[in-house]
Amino acid sequence: MDLKEKLVSSFLAFENQMDVEDYVHDIRSEAIKTFENEGFPSKKDEDWKYTSLNKILKQDYSVFPDDENAIEYRDVKKYFIHNIDSFKIVFIDGKYSSHLSQTTHEGMDICLLSAALAKPKYRLVIENYFNKIAASDGITSLNTAFSSEGAYIHIPKNKLVEKPIQIIHFSTGNESALMLQPRNLVVVDENSHVQIIERHQSLTSNAVLTNSVTEIFANKRAIIDCYKIQNDHQNASLIDNTFIHQKQESHASVHTFTFGGNLTRNNLNFYQHGERVDSTLKGITIIGDKQHVDHNTLVHHVEPNCESHQDYKGIFNDKSTGVFNGKVIVEKEAQKTNAFQANNNILVSDQSTINTKPQLEIFADDVKCSHGCTIGQLDSDALFYMKTRGIPEKEAKALLMYAFANNVLESVKIATLKTRINKLIANKIGVNIGFNL
Amino acid sequence: MLEIKNLHASVEDKAILKGINLSVKAGEVHAIMGPNGSGKSTLASVIAGKEDYEAIKGDILFNNENIEELEADERAHKGIFLSFQYPVEIPGVSVTNFMKTAINESRKAKGLEDMPANEMLKLIREKSELLEIDRKFLSRSLNQGFSGGEKKRNEIFQMAMLEPKLAILDETDSGLDIDALRIVANGVNKLKNKDNAVIVITHYQRLLDYIVPDFVHVLHNGKIVKSGTKELAHELEKKGYDWIKESVNL
């Protein structure tokens, strides 16, 4: 039985555990039908031309982990940004861990999707927002069909949430291969501000496939900053589907730091609805071995006077492969749009590959849109210059790569996170940073 | 200190240096002059260890050691410094962090610990004052957006920080206004002592009014065709390089 059949046939058993009166019952039933029709994407799909899921779909994944697995904080502390006060929503093998979490209902809801789906007091928010912007393609529908657990964040208006929210999904490796389908819903009302750090982390080298869907709603003048840390084991694969809906004058940013994992696919979609919306998409990818990372972004400009800023940097070593596919759509009404896109890559080894494809569809005539992509090697003049100052080749290369990637961090607003990512970059590149970060 | 014997070098199979002989002793200032394309910058790059340049014949001895097989960074650790004609821009690395890395890598090569932070700061302050460099300038990305004069001043600042035994200044005067020229020359003169040496590569005599050479060599078509004292530079300034070309052909 292949994975698709296994998932479809286990849907009934999954639904049996759920309340059929539930509002999302119909949504799930509809979604499994879509998945049954569409299945997993293949390289025949234009959007998946350079990324094949074949290999990772062959694993015999456990799709319903039943066990409650516990882990001790001290064993996983290093995966948290632990030196700041934060809210935490933590899952272990797909199950909520109250032990590791720190949630709240005081003036805002930072808690669990399962609770939000079950309790009447959340019903209105769920009806207004749940599955409203998630795509209806096969892979997203699969997640929707099995959506039951994840983070639920609702910030009412005029709130500055000072503590960042960390969402961490651990997998223990107690199953030989595990498939996870976390589902997050984030609603931020007028004038409110929230920061979210998200991470998927397996604790052993057993295979894990995570198909995650996150819907984020930024209402008027809301500010949302998301940081995705993707530094998982070499047998962990991640398909991250994020959908962001922005109303007028809202600012939303997503930084994606990809240093680990086997196959990582980021589907990052921004939908602007309202004037003077600002969207920021930034990424640093540093991979090696046979790792594969695919950034598929979409910014949809619908109304006038909006901006989007995209800046993705990639460093590829060994036989790693990268894909950047950045689509920007500017509708006819979206005059005075400023849309910038940059994708710069360094191929460190002869056997690494990057496919980069900017895709601009502009229907308005008074706009500023730019895109640029570069693929290069390290500058040999710069290397010679540094060597004449006594810096050996290896260190000079590392310093150049570090400098190349590092400037994406300028827009990271959480200082301790910035330091952490800086260290991760230094580690990954093998530079011993002998100076202040 | 530096002993170059019958040096031939080529770039992409094109012969550029065709038998250079040069001897530089501690405490000396040598000027190498010559028309464009005579091989001045190639000579500087070969001494510093640029890989694209192949020394096909001859010897380069530094303190009696043949350095031809050494990498540029190893030559730097031995005390050779090249001030670039066109300093390279390195975005994302500040002047300060670059110097810290350079100094500590040199110390590491000598088996020394990293320089303590306060000592480093003191050294940076002292040397930046010597070159009249603004503090703000030190936190900017190396050479990025620097004016021609700032780049050259920054080169000499690096020289001051690294305290080389042999400094090669490749067209340090190009792109400098008279004030910047004076600051740069003043910096070089203050660093000069009886234990180190300087090779000044220049097209014009102008810089040599400030950094006074003990010897002047004229490079033409890959060879040193005339050597003399500082008066030779004045003569060149008056008569131009055609005079040399003619006298060589004779």
Contact A387 B76 (CB under 8 A): yes
- Confidence band (pLDDT; 50, 70, 90) for A434? low
How far are the Cα atoms of A201, A325, A409, B139 from residue A83, in angstroms, in the given order? 19, 36, 19, 28
Mean pLDDT of chain A: 93
pLDDT of B55 reads 79
Q: What is the 3-state secondary structure (H, E, C) of chain A?
A: CCHHHHHHHHHHHHHHHCCCCCCHHHHHHHHHHHHHHHCCCCCCCHHHCCCCCHHHHCCCCECCCCCCCCCCHHHHHHHCCCCCCCEEEEEECCEECCCCCECECCCCEEEEHHHHHHCHHHHHHHHHHCCCCCCCCHHHHHHHHCCCCCEEEEECCCCECCCCEEEEEEECCCCCEEEECCEEEEEECCCCEEEEEEEEEECCCCEEEEEEEEEEEECCCCEEEEEEEECCCCCEEEEEEEEEEECCCCEEEEEEEECCCCEEEEEEEEEECCCCCEEEEEEEEEECCCCEEEEEEEEEECCCCCEEEEEEEEEECCCCEEEEEEEEEECCCCCCCEEEEEEEEEECCCCCEEEEEEEEEECCCCCEEEEEEEEECCCHHHHHHHHHCCCCHHHHHHHHHHHHHHHHHHHCCCHHHHHHHHHHHHHHHCCCCCCCC
Contact B92 A384 (CB under 8 A): no
The token pair that represents B155 in the structure block: 């080169």
Domain that holds residue B39: 2-249
Contact (Cβ atoms closer than 8 angstroms) between residue A280 and residue A253: yes
- State what percent of residues in chain A have pLDDT above 70: 98
Of A381, A393, A406, the CB nearest to B92: A406
Nearest CA in chain B to A381: B88
pTM of the predicted model, to two decimals? 0.84
Name the minimum distance, in Å, from the CA of B116 to any CA of chain A. 11
Nearest CA in chain B to A437: B97
Which residues of B, range 61-100, sit inside 8 Å of A by Cβ? 71-73, 75-77, 80-82, 84, 87-93, 96-98, 100
Contact A389 B97 (CB under 8 A): no
pLDDT of B237 reads 83
What distance, in Å, lies between the first and last C-alpha atoms of chain B?
Answer: 33
Nearest CA in chain B to A397: B90
Name the minimum distance, in Å, from the CA of A375 to any CA of chain B. 17
Name the minimum distance, in Å, from the CA of A402 to any CA of chain B. 8
Taking residues A365-385, what's their average pLDDT? Answer: 92
Query: What are the domain boundaries of chain A?
Result: 3-273, 387-437
Q: Look at residue A356 and tell me whether its pLDDT is greater than 60.
A: yes
Instruction: Give the amino acid at A79.
Output: Y
Name the minimum distance, in Å, from the CA of A287 to any CA of chain B. 20
Q: What is the pLDDT of residues A261-320, one digit of tens each?
A: 999 999 999 999 999 999 999 999 999 999 999 999 999 999 999 999 999 999 999 999
Q: What is the pLDDT of residues A220-236, one digit of tens each?
A: 999 999 999 999 999 99
Closest by Cα among A212, A158, A165 to A188: A158
Name the minimum distance, in Å, from the CA of A405 to any CA of chain B. 9
Q: What is the pLDDT of residues A260-275, one digit of tens each?
A: 999 999 999 999 999 9
Q: What's the CATH code of the domain at B106?
A: 3.40.50.300
Enumerate the residues of chain A whose CB falls inside 8 A of the CB of residue B109.
390
Name the minimum distance, in Å, from the CA of B71 to any CA of chain A. 8
Cα Dmax for chain A? 73
State the ipTM, two decimals: 0.95
Least confident of A188-192, A361-365, A405-409, B214-218: A405-409
Least confident of A275-279, B6-10, B33-37: B33-37
Q: Look at residue A437 and tell me whether its pLDDT is greater than 50.
A: no
Long-range contacts of A120-124 (CB under 8 A, 24+ apart): A122/A152, A122/A154, A123/A23
The token pair that represents B25 in the structure block: 């002793």
Q: What are phi and psi of A275, to 5 degrees?
A: -85, 160
Taking residues A67-89, what's their average pLDDT? Answer: 90
Beta strand residue intervals within B63-176, DSSP E: 65-66, 80-83, 90-94, 141-142, 166-170
Contact (Cβ atoms closer than 8 angstroms) between residue B54 and residue B11: yes
Q: Look at residue A251 and tell me whether its pLDDT is greater than 70.
A: yes
Measured at the CA of A132, the angle between CA A414 and CA A276, to 5 degrees, comes to: 55
Of A385, A392, A402, the CB nearest to B105: A392
Rounded to an integer, what distance in angstroms lies between the CA atom of residue B245 and that of residue B249?
6
Rounded to an integer, what distance in angstroms lies between the CA atom of residue B63 and that of residue B48?
15
Enumerate the residues of chain B whose CB falls inside 8 A of the CB of residue A397.
none
pLDDT of A433 reads 57
Enumerate the residues of chain B whose CB falls inside 8 A of the CB of residue A389.
73, 76, 98, 102, 158, 162
Rounded to an integer, what distance in angstroms lies between the CA atom of residue A43 and that of residue A331?
29
Count of domains forming chain B: 1
Q: Which helix (H) or strand (E) holds B23?
A: strand B14-24
- Tell me how many residue pairs between chain A and chain B have CB atoms under 8 A apart: 80
Measured at the CA of B156, the angle between CA B154 and CA B162, to 5 degrees, comes to: 105
- State what percent of residues in chain A have pLDDT above 90: 84
Contact (Cβ atoms closer than 8 angstroms) between residue B219 and residue B225: yes
